[in-house]
Amino acid sequence: MSRRTPSVALIALALAGIACGSSGVAGAPGGSEGAVRADGEQAFRDLGCSECHSDQAGAVAPSLRGVFGGEVSLEGGGTETIDVDYVRESILSPGAKVVRGFPNIMPSYQGRVSQDQLEALVDYLRSLAQP
């Protein structure tokens, strides 16, 4: 099993980073909002994100459900808003801003995921914040 940092990116996510900055809903790769979400959910599973970023007690990385748009406390002090930029950075440079209380174990996905996968991951994580 891969080691992962508890930063939201892929947070991850994140969800780790999409350079294009698209909102990812209408007009995004994959066609519709539902297709983009499905692509992101698939990438989340395929890349192993769900192994560490689960909703289960004792998970080695923070849950990503409902966190997009909120704030996270960081190791070393301070807080960070969980937005598109934070998720991108967390996926590409997961050790840059580690969530307090979790080990810095997430690998970088720089060069390991396509731009379309990264965009889909960010959109998927954003969708987890919606009721």
At residue 36, the pLDDT reads: 65
Secondary structure letter of residue 16 according to DSSP = -
Res. 19: pLDDT tops 80 = no
Q: Is residue 100 part of a domain?
A: yes
- Residue 3 within any structural domain of the chain: no
Within a domain: 4: no
3-class DSSP state for residue 97? coil
What CATH number corresponds to the domain at position 99?
1.10.760.10
Average pLDDT of the residues of the chain:
77
Instruction: Give dist(CA 58, CA 94) in Å, integer.
Output: 20
How far apart (Å, rounded) are the C-alpha atoms in residues 36 and 81?
23
pLDDT, tens digit (0-9, with 9 covering 90-100), for 21-76: 333 333 334 456 677 678 899 999 999 998 999 888 888 998 899 999 999 999 99
| Backbone conformation region of residue 88, classed left if phi is above 0, alpha if psi is from -120 to 50, else beta | alpha
Residues with Cβ < 8 Å from 21, sequence gap 6 or more?
Answer: 84
**Residue 25 is part of which domain span?**
9-127
Q: Quote the number of domains for the chain.
A: 1
Q: Is there a domain that residue 2 lies in?
A: no
